[in-house]
Amino acid sequence: MSKKEEIKGELKEVMNVEKLLKISEISLRLNTYDDIFSAFDPRFYSEKALSVDFLDEIKRASRDKVSGTVELRFLIPKALGNEGKENQIKKRLHEHFKRHHELLRKETKKTTYTGISIAGFGFLFMFIGVLFHYFLGERLLTDILVTLFEPLGWFMMFYGFDTAFYSLRQKKPEMDFYEKMSIADISFINY
């Protein structure tokens, strides 16, 4: 094959890949199926850990996508196409994303509960400070107790609400990502 024909073939391949990229929402070009998984994990595709680079790339690509079904397309050379491996990989990806979504959901629920509990204890300490002041009147011991309980109560209330609501805001993008990817339409396209 001449150099000119070789270049034409490569250009045609690149153009075909570009057409495929325009069709789907998230497209990733793979050299092998192993690009999806950790190079250090020797297990089968059904159990293998996903590559950190792969997860980072998908997170970056999915950031702009609206909620709902995301189409995830893997472009793989024709010579490497294997439907059995692809089905295993699809199942593994869905399991991974569903499990991490559920773990994040439980974690945020626990954090919210903890934050609201701390805020509740803060309110209780403030209330105890008011009761000391009301029932014990103007005494040195009362002033000391009120001075301790009021700031502690305020601090715990603010910290509790901050923990409950701010942490949710921080985890929301990651939860949205795993939720979108857990129901993603995953397919392999040979080129």
Top-confidence residue, 23 or 191: 191
Q: Note the pLDDT of residue 22.
A: 47
Tell me which residue of 65, 83, 66, 180 sits closest to 74, measured CA to CA.
83
Q: Note the pLDDT of residue 160.
A: 94
pLDDT digits (tens, 9 = 90+) for 90-145: 999 999 999 999 999 999 999 999 999 999 999 999 998 888 878 877 788 778 88
pLDDT digits (tens, 9 = 90+) for 6-17: 555 554 555 555
Mean pLDDT of the chain: 84
Give the orientation angle of helix 140-182 with respect to helix 52-62, to 10 degrees: 90
150: Cβ–Cβ under 8 A, 6 or more apart, which residues? Answer: 125, 126, 129
- What is the Cα–Cα distance from 11 to 13, expressed in whole angstroms? 5
Structure tokens belonging to residue 83: 């439907």
- What is the Cα–Cα distance from 34 to 43, expressed in whole angstroms? 11
Q: Note the pLDDT of residue 165.
A: 86
Least confident of 8-12, 55-59, 65-69: 8-12
**Is the pTM higher than 0.85?**
no
pLDDT digits (tens, 9 = 90+) for 157-182: 999 999 888 888 888 889 988 988 99
Q: Note the pLDDT of residue 137.
A: 76
Residue 13 Cα distances to 1, 6, 26, 36, 138, angstroms? 16, 11, 19, 22, 87
Average pLDDT over residues 149-162: 91
Q: Please state, as a whole number, how many other Cβ atoms lie within 10 Å of the Cβ of residue 38.
A: 15
